[in-house]
Amino acid sequence: MSDPKEELQRDVERTRRELGETVEALAHKADVPGRVKEQARETKVRMTRATSEAIDSLPEPVAEQVEKARRHPAAIAAVLIALVLVIWKLSRRNA
Contacts of 55 (CB under 8 A, 6+ apart): 63, 66, 67
| Per-residue model confidence as pLDDT tens digits over 63-90 | 888 788 778 888 878 888 888 999 988 8
The DSSP-derived string for 21-40 is HHHHHHHHHH-HHHHHHHHH
pLDDT digit string, tens, across residues 36-69: 999 999 999 999 899 888 888 888 888 888 788 7
Give me the domain span that covers residue 46: 4-94
The number of domains in the chain is 1
Residue 2, pLDDT above cutoff 80: no
- What pLDDT is stored for residue 95 in this prediction? 64
**pTM over cut 0.85:** no
